[in-house]
């Protein structure tokens, strides 16, 4: 998209930081939406700073509310601002920055810590709808990296600890996992990548039913400009080999959580490592990854920290 230069601009105009604060959209999300969906066309100052009109800000505020309430940005982007306002009324979506009278605020405060606290309370109350809204608004405000590192990861850790202490029952954990799974898929959808981008196949191998780690890996890869094909959980090695052959993928990223020492999984990963072309990377993450990667030697790369995976993605693209 060609960004117009500023020439006798209308007043007032607002910089990115002001638009981000008032709409709840992170600068990362703003850039993606402008580049890929052309939701607004900010002008540039002589110093190349992006500047937005009041109309741009209103349109972005409506888009933020509608996407946070479940609508797809790809479907909303072509619509007029009047139509977006009508959909907001239909959905009953509160305007960013305004607390509906007599109702609990659905807004996400600025700090990740407060988002985590709100989310844990919603999990405790079995309020999946409120949890979904909290997480979506946080993702729009914080961006992918901060959302994954400072919201999703702490929530999962605290839910696990409370489950072990007995203050959360399995149903709390299942609710949290289900909503976070939906949020991660939605986050990836908001960052649709170029179909010609470098491709990664993501999922979990046979016997591995916990897929949140794989979904997080997929969201990270999308945020780094990779095209991600997510295959899901508990798949045999043949499926990954076939998917790579069909898509010309350059990497297979698998989450391996529990248990260690499973001979069936060891055999499956050995088969996978041998069946992939030598130019295709095999990346393992998760609590049990190191145990299963050891017999594979240099054929497998273990990346446990999100920061390490981000660095690997950027170097390997």
Q: pLDDT value at position 10?
A: 53
Q: What are the tens digits of pLDDT across the range 141-171?
A: 888 889 999 999 999 989 988 888 899 999 9
Range 285-296 average pLDDT: 95
Predicted confidence (pLDDT) at residue 47 exceeds the cutoff of 70: yes
Determine the 3-state secondary structure of 244 from DSSP: helix
Predicted confidence (pLDDT) at residue 2 exceeds the cutoff of 60: no
Q: What are the tens digits of pLDDT across the range 224-272?
A: 889 999 999 999 999 999 999 999 999 999 999 989 899 999 999 999 9
Q: pLDDT value at position 191?
A: 65
pLDDT band at 32 (very low <50, low <70, confident <90, very high): confident
Which region among 71-75, 181-185, 296-300, 306-310 has the lowest average model confidence (pLDDT)?
71-75
The strand pairing partners of 235, in sequence order, are 205
Alpha helices in 13-126 (DSSP H): 16-23, 27-32, 54-68, 73-76, 81-91, 112-124
First to last CA, the chain: 23
Q: What are the tens digits of pLDDT across the range 107-119?
A: 444 588 889 999 9
Distance CA 302, CA 297 (A): 10
Q: pLDDT value at position 241?
A: 97
Distance CA 166, CA 299 (A): 41
Q: Is 218 exposed, middle or buried (0-12, 13-18, 19+ CB in 10 A)?
A: buried
**Is pLDDT larger for residue 40 or for residue 97?**
40
Angle of CA points 168, 169, 173, to nearest 5°: 80
Angle between helices 128-142 and 54-68 (to 10 degrees): 140
Residue the block writes with tokens 């590192």: 149
Q: pLDDT value at position 8?
A: 53
Domains of the chain: 14-91 (1.10.1660.10), 112-189 (1.10.1240.10), 193-316 (3.40.50.280)
């Amino acid at each position: 998209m060609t960004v117009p230069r500023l020439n006798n601009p209308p007043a007032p105009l607002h910089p990115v930081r002001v638009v981000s604060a008032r709409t709840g959209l992170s600068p990362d999300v703003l850039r993606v939406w402008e580049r890929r969906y052309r939701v607004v066309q900010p002008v540039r100052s002589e110093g190349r700073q992006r500047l937005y009109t009041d109309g741009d800000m209103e349109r972005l505020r409506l888009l933020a509310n509608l996407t946070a309430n479940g609508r797809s940005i790809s479907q909303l982007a072509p619509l007029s601002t009047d139509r977006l306002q009508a959909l907001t009324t239909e959905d009953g979506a509160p305007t960013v920055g305004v607390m509906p009278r007599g109702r609990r605020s659905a807004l996400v405060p600025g700090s990740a810590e407060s988002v985590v606290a709100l989310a844990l309370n919603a999990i405790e109350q079995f309020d999946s709808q409120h949890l979904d809204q909290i997480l979506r608004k946080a993702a729009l405000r914080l961006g992918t990296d901060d959302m994954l590192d400072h919201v999703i990861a702490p929530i999962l850790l605290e839910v696990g600890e409370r489950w072990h202490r007995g203050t959360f029952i399995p149903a709390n954990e299942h609710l949290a996992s289900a909503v976070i799974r939906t949020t991660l898929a939605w986050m990836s959808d908001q960052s649709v990548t170029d179909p010609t981008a470098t491709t990664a196949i993501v999922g979990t191998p046979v016997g591995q039913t916990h897929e949140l780690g794989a979904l997080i890996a997929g969201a990270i890869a999308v945020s780094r400009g990779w095209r991600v094909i997510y295959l899901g959980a508990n798949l045999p090695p043949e499926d990954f080999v076939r998917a790579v052959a069909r898509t010309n993928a350059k990497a297979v990223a698998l989450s391996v959580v529990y248990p260690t020492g499973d001979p069936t999984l060891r055999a499956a990963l050995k088969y996978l490592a041998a069946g992939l072309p030598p130019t295709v990377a095999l990346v393992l993450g998760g609590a049990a990854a190191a145990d299963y990667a050891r017999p594979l030697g240099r054929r497998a790369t273990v990346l446990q920290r999100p920061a390490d995976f981000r660095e690997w993605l950027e170097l390997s693209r």
